Structures are given as C-alpha cells and as structure tokens.
Structure 1
Amino acid sequence: MKGSKAALVILVLTGVFALATGFPLLTRFIYVLIFGLALTYAWTWLNLRRLEISADRRTARTQVGRRAEESITVRNHSILGKTYLEVQDKTTMPGHYAGAVVSLGAKTERSWDMEMECQRRGVFTLGPVTVATGDPFGLFRLERSMGGTHTLVVYPATVDLPYFSLPPSDLPGGAAFYRRSLSVTPNAYGVREYTPGDTYNRIHWPTTARLGRLMVKEFETEPSSDVWIVVDAHAAAQVGVWPDNSEEYACTAAASIARKYLENNYTVGLLAYGAEAHVLRASRGDAQLIRILEALASLRAKGTLSLADVLAAGGHRFSRHTTVVLITPSMDESWLAAVRFLVRRKVKVAVVLLDAATFGGSGNALPVVGGLTALSVPMCVMKKGESLSTALRLDMAPPSGPVLRQYQLLHRERRP
C-alpha cells in the first residue's frame, strides 16, 4: 500500500504541474499513470476472485509438547491462473505461523499438510484462513478471509510420579467409607425392588424366588478417600517468566497428580481461583481427568483470592475422608493457619511448595517449611529446572527435623 500511496502522490503532483504549465506530455503521462494504476488494481482484484479455501483441522485437543495437525486446500475455479497467493491460517497461539505462498493454474487446486508444535497450555482459536495477494509492482495488496474458526485446547503436560505417595485419609474402622454406585462393583450391600431400567444382571434370583417379586442388588464403590487438588492461582503469589514460571509448574504438577490418582481409581477434585473460578467436585474415571485437564488448560493465575482465602472458602468441601494437595509458590505464612485448621479437623494435607527464590522471586521458604514441619504435614519443595518426576517426591511420613535441616543446607548452598 505504500507504493499505491506514492503513485497517488505522483499522480496529483503531475496533474497540478500539468495544469500549471499546460505541457501536453505531462497530460499524456497522467493518462498512462491512471491506466496503469487501474490495470494493476484490476489484476490484484481478479487474483482473489473465484477462490475456495478449506481447512481440515484434525486436532481438537492435545497436550504441551505434542503436535496439532491440519490440512489446507486451495481451489481455483477461475479460467485465469493465480500467482503469488499468501495463504495463512490465523491463530491466537503465540509464536505460531501456519502459511504458505502458492500459485495455481486455471481450474486447479493444491493441498498441503501442516503440523504445529504446541508449546503453550491454553485454549486457542484457529482460523479463519486468509489469502492475500499483490501486483508485481507492489502498488496494491488485497486480503480476504475464508472459512470458519476452530477451537484447539492444549492441556498441560503430565509426567509419571513414581515417588509421589499421598497420606491416606482416615477411613472409619469396621465401617469403611463406601458410596452407592450405579454400576456393578464387587461390593453388593443390599437388595431392593426392581424398577424399570434396571439391567437383568443385577437381579438377585434367590431373594426374588423367596419373595415372589423381582429384587435387584445394590452396589457400593470400594472404600476410598477423596483427593482434592488446590492450585494457588493468586496473582500476587506468582513468580517467574513463561515458560519457567510458577504457574506452568503448578499446572503440570496438578495435572500429573490428578492423572496418577485417577488412574488408580481415586476420586479427585480440583479447586483453583484464577481469572475464573475452577471448582470440580471429586469424581473418578477418564471423563474426570479430561475435565481437570480442560480446567487447567484455561487456568490463568490472575486471581484476587489468596491461598488462605481459597482454603477458607472451600474448606467445607473437605472432611476426614479427604486428602488435600496444596500446590503453591506463596511464601506468605498466613495460609499456614488454614492448614492448621484442616489438620485439626482430621483432614489429611500434603503440600507441593514451589521455591519462589529459584524462579526469580523474593522471600524465604524456610518459615513455611518450618511451619509445615511443626504441623507434621508431608511436603516436597520443587525448584525451577528440576525434573518433576524426581522433584515431586512425597512420602506418606510427615517431615521431620532432619528434613528441615537438609533444606536449610540446600538453601545455603544456593546462595552466592
């Protein structure tokens, strides 16, 4: 467009000079310039006519570190060839460019496959596809958008956690904590009358024969405890710069912990108050894992509630049958009071503490470590750059004096 503006300026100046001098050659030059501009614009406009572009986006959900695939097809329905078409699939994913420059003959088409490496967690929009072209002299440039949009959800990465073992919550002795199950499990606890919709494999035939009417078995889940993962998404607590910031480490840790315990048939819930509130009641199965991963994909640590406020607001969800996993970079000791209250209620608590100093933040983790040690709360301290598989090392035993002294020694070694 800079070239077209320059040509327009030349045209105006030439016209003014021709009128002022009456020189006939300048008048002819103006006619030639007008004809040339009209011709180049028409050529550019026709280059975008009778085009059809389609995008086959085969990936709707993926994870950080994996690839999303798509195929783009450009069809020319015109009897004229098309040259220098810049085709680009617009996306909100940072750092990604999906495009190509193509030329097409009359009545032809061209397709190509593209892969994008998903390096950032989030919910992104792909599309629409834009096609742009210009004239050979660079005077004009036109652009059209075609096709719809597509949502791509990038889940946080998950890693295996061979050394992470949560403390078991209290299950009442002699009367294990069961829940009624709508599916068949090994634990049948009673019978009831048949109702329409019950499957025949639930009928208890001996009781049916004795009572003279259809009776079906009722089932319970295995005795277990809820695992609640609480991610500290308070904006003031976050440290570091993407991709090595506390928010990304916390989301990866939360996703990995959720996957591990859901795969082991635990009921897992999520609590995080970021830019939006994410509260997923405890449930089990693959569907719950997908829900947690989707919530973590959209989580933005821009919340206004501190960890202490979150625990106060969500504490009613936790019982003595609950194990709460706190993931936080906060060096503010105020949330220790909320942990103390949970411990007094016989709620099992474990903490994944992100060492803010290693992420470029300020503050000293030792007071928090000491406070958790005094409460006999199991914890692990995760530092920037560490492998999560080895950093998330949590035993069922609570920390003790030697653990605190070891952390003090490591903290001294990090000092310059």
Structure 2
Amino acid sequence: MTARPHRRGWARLTARGWGLVAAAVVVFVLTQVLRRQELAYLACFLIAVPVFSLAWVALRRLAVTVRRRFDPESGVVDQRISVALYLQNWGRVRTPAGVWTEHAASPLRPSRPAPLPVLPGYASATLDEPGLNVLRYDLDTRVRGAHRIGPFEVTLSDPFGCAVRRAELGGSDVVLVTPTVYELARIDLRLSSGDGAEQVSRRLVGAGEQDVIARKYLPGDSMRRVHWPATAKHGELMVRQDDQRNDQDAVIVLDPASFAVPGAAQVTAGAGRRARRALIDDSFEWAVSTAASIALHLMNEGFGVRMIGAAARTGVATGASDVAEVQTAPFGAQRVVQDLAWAEPGTAEDPIAFRIAVEEAALTSPDAPPVFAVVSGASGAAARIRDLATMSSHAVAFVVGEQRDPAVAAELRGSGWTVVEAGPYERLTALWKALGDARGLG
C-alpha cells in the first residue's frame, strides 16, 4: 500500500542530552561560586548542544513512503511469512541516521529494531521516481487471527545523540494467520437414506471408484489419493478427484458464544484472570483448528461443507438470514480457513442460523446432512445446538474445555448427539480415529 504522510512525534532528550543539561546547570552554579567568567562560556556551550539537538530532530521532516508486501499473503500458525518493505525517499536531502521497527497489533510482537539505511535524496530532473530500498523481516505467526501490521516507525537521532524523535510512516495492512489443519483419517458414519426412514452405513469417500476422475498431483495432495492406474497410463503422478454425483452436504457448527470469558470464569472459579484468559484461548484455538480440519477433510472426500459461526470479519455475527454458503474443494478450502482466521471467542451467533444451515443442507442433499458441532464445555453450551441432532443423519459434537461441565455432554447425548469430549491439548487425529473405530455410532 502507499504510505500516508508521516506522523511526527514529540522530540525528547536522551540520557546524554539530560546529562549535558545537568552539567550546564552545575557549571552555571560554579560560575557564581568561583567568579570565573570562562565557565559561563562552557555552560552556554553545554546547554546549546541539547537545544540544537532538539531543534534538529523536531524540525527534520521525512518525505519517505512505505509499501508493504507479505510472502505468502497469508499463512498457517507458525508458518514463515516474510514481510518486504519498499521505501522511497521523495525529499531532496538524504535521510538521517535512525532505527526502524514495525508495529504489530497484540498479541503479535513488533519487529526487532534495526538501523535505517541512508536513502539518497531525490532529484526529479534525473529520475521519474526515487529508487527503491527494500527492508525485510520475518513476521511473528505464533497466534491465529487477522493481525494488523504497521505502521512503520523510525526513531531519528541527532549527530550528537542528545535527542530522539519517533516518526510513523505509512499506514497498516492486515495479514491472515490461519488455524492449524490436521490430516484426518477416513471414518464410517451412519447416514440416513434419501427418505430418512432407514440408517445405512456410508464411508466418507464421496462417490464410488467407478466415478473417479484423475487429475495431476498438486503440492499438498494426500498420497493416499494417488490413482495408480492413471499414474501408470499417463506416466506422471495422478490423484483421485471424486465425482460428487450424490451432492451430499455436511454442516459444521462452531459456536464462539459458548467460549465467552464469563462462561470460562464460572467453570474455572478461583483461577486468576490471566489464567482464565489463557485457558479460554487455548480451548477456542483447539475448537477453531478442529472445525477447519473437519471441513477440509470432508471437502477432500467429496462433500460440500456449510460452515456456520466462523465469519466475524466485520465484528458482527451473521444473522439467521445469512445462510452459510456451500464450499467445495479445492477453492472452498481456502475460503473456510480464511474465514476461521477471523473467528473470535464470545461472538454471539444467532442459534436460528444454525438451524437454517442444516435445513438448507437437507434441501440440497438426497440424505439428511451430517452435522459436526464444536462447542465449549461451559455450563449452558448445549442449549444452543441441542435440537440440531433431530435434523441430522449423524450428529457429532466436540465438547472442548480443560474443566468441562458434565451436564453439557449428558444433555447432548440425551438429545441424540455422538459426543467427543476433549481438552485443549489433546490430539485431534487420535480422537477422530477413535470416532471412526466406533463407526460413528452414538
């Protein structure tokens, strides 16, 4: 992006500058005590240096613009994202010495301070635009979310090192750090037949082998999907792309409202505020990662996925009229993980939207849709999703929390849900495999 005009901060003295001021005061006192006129000249010199330094940094203007690029534009938690800063000096004089850093919204850490290279002055008669100077650093990607990066900050100093001033250059950009996605094993579920009167076992593989379409292998494809006959025929690695003739949709419900901090405070009574905040964050991050992993797994197996409860880009939860769109592989996977990057605990989603998503999935599918829900183990969390089990061919609820209210799981089981209880540090792959070993029977 093109930078805004820089914002000028207040100039201030450094420790060296204050030391010169203190020395000037002492020398002035000695002038009166010792009656030595030459000491007055020294005192004037000592006080003149910090005054000059303050004026130098306060009046110095930086005509520098900053553009920012991320590589890649978004990434997964703990993935390396490189930031390139393109600086151009539009002023006629070269830039002074300084130290630069990039701000980052909490909880990310700003970049480490580094010396600002000297940018030569711009002579418009010789160049159409100033030359580019590129600065690079790696972004902190420990935390999932939509993080605001910037502005670019320069700390200017005078030649004597007696005064400094901070100047913010340019605006900010948002980078998405998407949740961690785990590769899940195939499992059997009991899905109802088209009329809903009978339960039949169906494996989550999309269509049959006779309906397989082979395509070229792409980075990130699972080796389990390699189609060996097509690979031998074409002489290059080919993978299965199942025909979605059944048009089966699945619904994934993430309920951020159940992960609100007040609920966590009730479950974790006696814990400090910071400990409760850390606990609820870990539980919610596990929930987001679980929702993303299940969504991508179902898409890869030929399902259309309706994700509800993830879109919080505007800070306002979706309403009942905002029906979750059907996402399919390969492009829907990126949309889902990007939406989940914006998810925040405590966002109040209308429970009616959950029901509408399941009803819409039933209208566009020959079978009653499977529903996967991820909720907190806090008291009262079951009420918002309880009735969805009667609308689903197979309803699986992940109840997440370090200290879970037993009534939540009991209420969901009594309503027809298959319940998987999990702590925020348990392995999703192991829980998913256990679910498959049980053949999805509630």
Matches within 5 A, 1:73-222: 73=86, 82-83=96-97, 85-92=98-105, 94-98=107-111, 99-104=113-118, 111-135=134-158, 137-164=160-187, 166-172=189-195, 222=245
Measured after TM superposition, the shift of residue 334 of structure 1 is 6.7
DSSP 3-state at the match of 2:81: strand
Measured after TM superposition, the shift of residue 159 of structure 1 is 0.8
Q: 1:337 to 1:347 in 2, by over 3 A?
A: farther
Structure 1 unaligned runs (5+)? 175-185, 187-219, 401-416
TM-score when normalising by structure 1: 0.67
- 1:35 maps to 2:27: no
Question: For 2:78 and 2:426, how far apart are their aligned partners in 1?
Answer: 17
Which residue identity does 2:164 align to in structure 1? R
1:303 to 340, 347, 353: 347
Question: For 1:250 and 1:347, how far apart are their aligned partners in 2?
Answer: 22
Measured after TM superposition, the shift of residue 153 of structure 1 is 1.1
Q: 1:369 to 1:58 in 2, by over 3 A?
A: closer
- 1:66 maps to 2:106: no
Matches within 5 A, 1:301-380: 301-304=345-348, 310-312=350-352, 314-319=354-359, 320=362, 321-332=368-379, 335=382, 339=386, 341-345=387-391, 348-354=394-400, 356=401, 359=402, 361=403, 363-365=404-406, 367-380=407-420
Checking the alignment, whether the CA contact within 8 Å between 1:270 and 1:292 is kept in structure 2 is yes
- Kindly name which structure, 1 or 2, has the bigger radius of gyration based on alpha carbons: 1
DSSP 3-state at the match of 1:390: helix
Which residue identity does 2:374 align to in structure 1? I
Checking the alignment, whether the CA contact within 8 Å between 1:66 and 1:117 is kept in structure 2 is no
Measured after TM superposition, the shift of residue 242 of structure 1 is 6.2
Question: For 1:50 and 1:254, how far apart are their aligned partners in 2?
Answer: 47
Question: For 1:81 and 1:284, how far apart are their aligned partners in 2?
Answer: 50
DSSP 3-state at the match of 2:371: strand
- Provide the alpha-carbon RMSD of the alignment: 4.0
- 1:293 maps to 2:358: no
TM-score when normalising by structure 2: 0.64
Q: 1:349 to 1:50 in 2, by over 3 A?
A: closer
1:389 to 394, 415, 429: 429
Checking the alignment, whether the CA contact within 8 Å between 2:255 and 2:375 is kept in structure 1 is yes
Which residue identity does 2:421 align to in structure 1? V
Measured after TM superposition, the shift of residue 97 of structure 1 is 3.1
Checking the alignment, whether the CA contact within 8 Å between 1:88 and 1:129 is kept in structure 2 is yes
Structure 2 unaligned runs (5+)? 1-12, 122-130, 198-210, 212-242, 265-275, 363-367
Higher strand share: 1
Measured after TM superposition, the shift of residue 253 of structure 1 is 0.4
Match of 2:254 in 1: 231
Measured after TM superposition, the shift of residue 349 of structure 1 is 1.6
Measured after TM superposition, the shift of residue 89 of structure 1 is 2.1
Matches within 5 A, 1:15-30: 24-30=37-43
Question: For 2:24 and 2:336, how far apart are their aligned partners in 1?
Answer: 63
